[in-house]
């Protein structure tokens, strides 16, 4: 399916901007999606939320340029679900966003929230067995909410693994402030995630000086080097089209990336529709649901969940909700 874009209008009031509306497939609740974004760990340092989750705003880099992107819920003003998307140019830029920029922003929003997914098809696929029926009854039509992108998700996940959340946030913010591109919109300064190119000359001792652990200070330059040296293998657009197993395998080869991180970033960073995260907590949840022993192996879990292809990411998302009793 493709996301429908309507009512494109440009403006110079308060900065050069382009505004349009997006029409997600039904049923859809933006407020529920933003709640999920927070509760599922997919929210990001650069995300800002409006009162009562009316809008989401963040700086993005699209088509070689930086913009401020804002998504506003228009559900109360329309019979069908609608989102207003505003794309604002930087303060010192004299060129307005183009239609191509807007389409790239719409695709970013689509991937973050799976706006164009056929939810009826998802429901039909999941209801192939008793467990899938239970998931649909309890959680459908909730949609998985995703990380802001594969590179951002990879950095955030590797930095955050096995440390306290507060420390992970401080380390990530320090990385953005030190190496990220500085951008300004309506007088407010932010820093974008540093690209692999901006991190190309960063050494472990540089990261140690920013209070990264020795292990993480070694991992991050290794990941950067691999991504830069193998651009075809780590072409994110191409990886989205790969079979799930191949996308996970490519990520699993990176320094400091194990099976859980590879599955998680593939599912929520690329994002990929057909991933089931290899995690002990999910194994135990499924074991209880299928009346098996205390836990399942990775192979047993993969075999059970294969019936939900090509929407295993939805089955995984709903199983996470079941695990945390959401």
Q: What is the pLDDT of residues 244-255, one digit of tens each?
A: 999 999 999 999
Residue 221 token pair: 């330059």
Q: Taken in order 212, 218, 223, 225, is the CA torsion positive or negative?
A: positive
Q: What is the reported pLDDT for 3?
A: 85
Q: What is the mean pLDDT of residues 260-285?
A: 96
Q: What is the reported pLDDT for 80?
A: 85
d(CA 12, CA 7): 17
Q: What is the pLDDT of residues 201-237, one digit of tens each?
A: 999 999 999 999 999 999 999 999 999 999 999 999 9
Residue 137 token pair: 């009854």
Which pLDDT band holds residue 41 (cuts at 50, 70, 90)? confident
Q: What single string gives the DSSP state of each residue in 38-94?
A: HHTT---TT-EE-GGG-EEEEEEEETTEEEEEEEEE-GGGSSS--EEEEEEE-TT--
Q: Give the rounded percent of residues in the chain with a pLDDT score beyond 90.
A: 93
Closest by CA position to 27, among listed 96, 112, 123: 123
Looking at the predicted structure, is the pLDDT value of residue 176 above 60?
yes
The CATH code of domain 150-268 reads 1.10.340.30
Looking at 3.10.20, 1.10.10, 1.10.3470, 3.30.310, the CATH number of the domain 4-116 comes to: 3.30.310
Spatial contact of 175 and 194, defined as CB atoms under 8 Å apart: yes
Residue 2 token pair: 């493709």
Residue 74 token pair: 């228009």
Q: What is the pLDDT of residues 43-95, one digit of tens each?
A: 999 999 999 889 999 999 999 999 999 999 998 666 789 999 999 999 999 99
Q: What is the mean pLDDT of residues 15-35?
A: 95
Q: Residue 185: CB partners within 8 Å, gap ≥ 6? A: 15, 59, 68, 88, 90, 91
Hey, where are the domains in the chain? 4-116, 150-268
Looking at the predicted structure, is the pLDDT value of residue 298 above 70?
yes
Q: What is the reported pLDDT for 293?
A: 82
Q: What is the reported pLDDT for 78?
A: 61
């Amino acid at each position: 399916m493709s996301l429908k874009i309507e009512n494109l209008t440009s403006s110079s009031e308060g900065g050069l901007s382009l505004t349009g509306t997006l029409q997600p497939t039904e049923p859809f609740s933006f407020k529920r999606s933003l709640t999920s974004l927070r509760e599922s760990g997919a929210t990001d340092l650069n995300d800002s939320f409006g009162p009562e989750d009316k809008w989401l705003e963040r700086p993005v880099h699209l088509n070689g340029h930086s913009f401020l992107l804002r998504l506003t819920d228009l559900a109360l003003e329309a019979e069908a679900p609608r989102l207003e998307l505003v794309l604002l140019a930087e303060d010192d830029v004299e060129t307005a966003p183009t239609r191509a920029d807007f389409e790239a922003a719409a695709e970013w929003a689509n991937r973050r929230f799976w706006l164009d997914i056929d939810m009826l098809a998802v429901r039909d696929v999941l209801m192939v067995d008793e467990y899938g029926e239970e998931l649909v009854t309890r959680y459908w039509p909730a949609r998985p909410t995703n990380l802001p992108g594969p590179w951002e998700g990879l950095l955030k996940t590797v930095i955050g693994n096995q440390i306290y959340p507060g420390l992970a946030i401080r380390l990530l913010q320090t990385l953005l402030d030190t190496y990220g591109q500085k951008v300004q919109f309506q007088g407010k300064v932010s820093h974008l995630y540093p690209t692999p190119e901006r991190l190309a000359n960063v050494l472990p001792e540089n990261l140690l000086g920013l209070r990264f652990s020795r292990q993480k200070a070694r991992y991050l330059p290794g990941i950067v080097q691999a991504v830069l040296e193998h651009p075809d293998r780590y072409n994110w657009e191409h990886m989205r089209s790969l079979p799930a197993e191949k996308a996970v395998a490519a990520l699993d080869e990176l320094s400091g990336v194990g099976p859980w991180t590879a599955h998680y970033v593939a599912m929520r960073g690329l994002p990929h529709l057909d991933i089931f995260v290899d995690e002990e907590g999910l194994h135990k949840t499924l074991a209880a649901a299928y009346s098996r022993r205390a836990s399942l192996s990775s192979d047993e879990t993969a075999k059970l969940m294969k019936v939900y292809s090509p929407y295993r990411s939805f089955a995984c998302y709903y199983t996470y909700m079941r695990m945390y009793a959401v």
